[in-house]
Structure 1
Amino acid sequence: MSDNTINLNFSWLKKGWQKLISRLADLRLAIILLLAIALFSATGTIIEQGQSVSFYQNNYPEEPAVLGFLSWQVILTLGLDHVYTTWWFVSLLVIFGSSLTACSFTRQIPTLKSARRWQYYKRPSQFEKLALSSQLSNISVDQLIPELEKHNYKIFQEGNQLYARKGIMGRIGPIVVHISMLIILMGAIWGAFTGFMAQEMVATGETFQVKNIFEAGKLSQSQVPQDWKVRVNDFWIDYTNEGAIDQFYSDLSVVDLEGNELKQETIYVNHPLRYDGVTFYQTDWGISGVKVQINNSPVFQLPMAKLNQEEGNLWGTWVPIKPDLSQGVSLLTRDLKGTLLVYDTNGKLTGVVRPGMEIQVEGVTLKVLDLIGSTGLQIKADPGIPIVYTGFGLLMVGVIMSYISHSQIWALQEGNSLYLGGKTNRAQVGLEKEFIEIVNTLEEISPQLIASST
């Protein structure tokens, strides 16, 4: 291959690369990507994530489809049941991050470099092009310096020429904003690949490991706890005076594989337990069982099942009253307050009973000793959250920095005349007031004003 061919290929690649960077740095592309990310993020909030196929079939049927097109097949095909870990959503984040990076290197960083580069004005005609300018007589550059220092300008002087600036941080602000958004994107991507969500319904007194995972990233296995468990020490509900649920609580202990307690905390809604990067939220509750005794039999525990009930929660169980299990009575309850309805073998309501009480039914004495509650926990691990929070913190700093105006002032002394001018990238009114104040102060030093223009 000849040198000319190599140079031609290299030139073609260079032009292609420059064209790609230019397209990525286009503000219109960044806006379109940001809107797409926001749209699909909202979709992931509206459509329940990580549910079973039957859930989507029941809630998003093909006929009639939601909004005329959103059926369970569309959701599963497009991955709308796990939006944040789909290849196309991650691709949007990567392209948006690439756009921010390209914009930073092609626009923001060159703008900062340009702001840091400056030159003295050597001719009076140069001041006419500035937004603010003035010509004073009998004033020297040295007399101007103290006034600029009062307004926190950084001053550079060379003989009869002067340059002063302040607010260079305002030029750095947009770059910090871009960096912070990149950090947020990296945190979101890292969390999507390494995080998981799980749900557990655990009875009081039981110890469990996280198993029921319904949403997990491809690299999340290392985040699932393997060397510790969680024990539910107790669960209880506080009720209002009207009988409605006020709050429900779970007393949890993190224990190692030998049962030694590592951490203990009582959680409730909006007050989770956090341990080793995993967070346990209080989200639901239930009734897992009831302890009963028939006549003088040993105490035994029966599970209670949640029944389908449109009017509210209802749990029930069947209590055998014959040794051969040929007959039994039913117990129903709506909450953990302790009131249970007792139905005989014919389904007729016999009476009510509370824990610690007994009732006569079908010729036997049924004693209810205790109701056993269960706590519903949502378990989440997202290693990307600290990265995202860091990005948001840096974003706020960058936004504040971006509001700082970059102001510049030049001065040139020729004979008895002092030429003064300035400009700013924002806060024009503020610079005008500052400029007039400096000029007025200098006029008081030498009242002979030759000419002034603003």
Structure 2
Amino acid sequence: MSPQLRTASLPERVWGALTSLRLTLVLLLMLAGLGLVGTVRPQVFATWWFWAPLGAFTLNLLSCFVKGLPEALRRVRQPLSREAALALPERARLAWPRDRDPRPWLTETLKREVGKVHHANQENTIYYWWERGRFRPLGPYVVHLALLCILGGALVGRWWGLEGQLNLVEGESAQSFHTPEGPRPLDFEVRLDRFQVTYYPNSPMVQEFRSDLTFQKAGEPPVQAVCRVNEPVTFGGLTFYQSRWEKSVRFRVEEGEAAREVEAVVNRVVELPEGRGRFKVLDFEENLVRRMGERVVELGPWAQVVYLPPGGDHPLLLQILKNYPERFPQPGPHRFVLLGRGSKLLSGLQVKHDPGVPWVYLGFVLLLPGFYLAFLRPPERWALVLSRGSKGGWEGRLKGAAPRSQESFTLRLERLREKLQSPPEGQPSGGGGRAGGV
């Protein structure tokens, strides 16, 4: 009568599911699919149905790490013993004539070829044994740990990080910046001393734009720094990245017979005097180009403006052409006349605090030794038994095994057999010898 199989408990079934390779593959396919969707709709990366499988994948990695690491450590702590080495399959036989003693060069040759070698003498027999890739079982778990650091750092940055935008015009100071949740105060003041845009010679393409900043904290001397693209500045626990810049536009705002000139920076709200409302330049082109049939027409300076009337009335979207002001009628009460590009430049700085960055860096550092152990250090075990033959000469039996990388193992076997058979240069060779493979 066969014994009854024990039914796994609920915790055991949950643990088995968390550590299964099937769950890993399903989550990787889900994340790959969401990543493809995210290339078209980047907002996917901010939704729960992206972060949920990412969190589940992190939990899956952690469970596999906890489950497999003790066994890997146990295998690493058990070095190759002489008894285990002698049980390895025989790979080659070596033989030397009576007038040649291989012992003087065997130990040195083995150290030079394979590194650390254990040896022992017993009566007329000498045992050598060694192993390569002993720490290879740790490789996959170092990679697991690296991925956990990277994913954990990303999760920490997502939930406990801070990100916002700071827009400054030359000479302007700020003690707060904008985040999706609203304004965020700074415990210091940041001032844009100078903003520069450099163009390539004889080209309208921008080569570089930079912000010369001054940070001032109460009771401390000011700190000056230059912020460029890919050269962020860190102060007060926050990192400032040069992300964008905007031009300014000059208008003449007419209301009846009254008129005044106003300079507005793109994407910044401008208050009109005496509470006459507000407006913001959404876009500006110094020369708007349109195709009309087979012709390409240059329409000159163009701006798109949204006017916000006082009292909370509906905003008005205006299209303004400098050279053809009558093309787009304006309902009033104000009339905006486009004069051209202004002299002001706005520097857009991205402000970030990401406590997960050190963990991400640590993860990428751990990937290197993890991949090296997992893929470039295949495990090998070897033994050489040296004893006196029946005719008085020395005989050797070369043993070895490798569960992976058979091609590399075969090449090493041929090299060892060649090096062990003959003495190195500079040592007497004595008589001839023979070698045979098994």
TM-score range relative to shorter protein: 0.5 to 0.7
Aligned pairs for 1:260-275 within 5 A: 261-267=222-228, 269-275=229-235
Quick one: distance in 1 between partners of 2:85 and 2:34? 57
Quick one: distance in 1 between partners of 2:110 and 2:153? 44
Show the counterpart of 2:316.
none
* Residue segments in structure 1 that go unaligned for 5+ positions in a row: 1-10, 50-79, 293-298, 318-331, 334-339, 356-369
Show the counterpart of 1:407.
380
State the shift of 1:30 in Å.
1.9
Quick one: distance in 2 between partners of 1:229 and 1:291? 33
State the shift of 1:237 in Å.
3.0
Show the counterpart of 1:321.
none
Quick one: distance in 2 between partners of 1:113 and 1:40? 39
In the alignment, is residue 385 of structure 1 matched against residue 340 of structure 2?
A: no
Higher mean C-alpha displacement, 302-311 vs 407-416: 302-311
Does the Cα contact within 8 Å between 2:195 and 2:347 map onto a contact in 1? yes
Show the counterpart of 2:27.
33
SS in 2 for 1:168: coil
State the shift of 1:213 in Å.
0.8
Show the counterpart of 1:423.
401
SS in 1 for 2:177: coil
Aligned pairs for 1:52-451 within 5 A: 80=44, 82-83=46-47, 86=48, 88-107=49-68, 109-111=70-72, 113-114=74-75, 116-121=78-83, 126-127=87-88, 129=89, 132-134=91-93, 136=95, 144-159=106-121, 160-214=126-180, 226-240=186-200, 241-243=202-204, 245-256=206-217, 261-267=222-228, 269-275=229-235, 276-287=237-248, 303=264, 305-306=280-281, 311=288, 314=302, 371-402=343-374, 403-413=376-386, 416=389, 417-444=395-422
Quick one: distance in 1 between partners of 2:181 and 2:39? 14
Q: Aligned AA for 1:435?
A: L
Aligned pairs for 1:14-33 within 5 A: 16-33=10-27
Quick one: distance in 1 between partners of 2:84 and 2:263? 96
Cα 1:400–1:262 change in 2 (3 A) is same
Query: Per-residue CA shift, 1:183-229, capped at 9, x if unaligned?
Result: 1111111101112322233322221234321279xxxx9xx663113
Bigger helix fraction = 1
Does the Cα contact within 8 Å between 2:94 and 2:417 map onto a contact in 1? no
SS in 1 for 2:143: helix
Cα 1:156–1:198 change in 2 (3 A) is same
Bigger strand fraction = 2
Quick one: distance in 2 between partners of 1:211 and 1:234? 19
TM value normalised by structure 2 = 0.66
Does the Cα contact within 8 Å between 1:285 and 1:373 map onto a contact in 2? yes
Greater relative contact order (Cα < 8 A, sep 6+): 2
State the shift of 1:262 in Å.
2.5
Cα 1:352–1:419 change in 2 (3 A) is closer
Quick one: distance in 2 between partners of 1:418 and 1:384? 57
State the shift of 1:176 in Å.
1.5
Does the Cα contact within 8 Å between 2:170 and 2:194 map onto a contact in 1? yes
Query: Per-residue CA shift, 1:153-188, capped at 9, x if unaligned?
Result: 322334344321123243332222111111111111
Cα 1:208–1:193 change in 2 (3 A) is same
Higher mean C-alpha displacement, 392-401 vs 405-414: 405-414
Quick one: distance in 2 between partners of 1:23 and 1:354? 65
SS in 2 for 1:162: strand
Cα 1:371–1:30 change in 2 (3 A) is same
Cα 1:91–1:162 change in 2 (3 A) is farther
Cα 1:42–1:164 change in 2 (3 A) is same
Quick one: distance in 1 between partners of 2:171 and 2:79? 70
Does the Cα contact within 8 Å between 1:122 and 1:161 map onto a contact in 2? no
Does the Cα contact within 8 Å between 1:196 and 1:382 map onto a contact in 2? yes
Quick one: distance in 2 between partners of 1:146 and 1:247? 61
State the shift of 1:19 in Å.
4.2
Does the Cα contact within 8 Å between 1:249 and 1:282 map onto a contact in 2? no
SS in 1 for 2:191: strand
Q: Aligned AA for 1:120?
A: R
Cα 1:239–1:166 change in 2 (3 A) is closer
Cα 1:147–1:136 change in 2 (3 A) is same
The Cα RMSD (Å) is 4.6
Quick one: distance in 2 between partners of 1:108 and 1:135? 40
Cα 1:141–1:100 change in 2 (3 A) is farther
Quick one: distance in 2 between partners of 1:110 and 1:32? 26
Cα 1:316–1:20 change in 2 (3 A) is closer
Does the Cα contact within 8 Å between 1:251 and 1:265 map onto a contact in 2? yes
Does the Cα contact within 8 Å between 2:119 and 2:129 map onto a contact in 1? yes
Q: Aligned AA for 1:433?
A: L
* Residue segments in structure 2 that go unaligned for 5+ positions in a row: 1-5, 254-259, 266-279, 290-300, 306-319, 330-336, 390-394, 424-429
Does the Cα contact within 8 Å between 2:172 and 2:192 map onto a contact in 1? yes
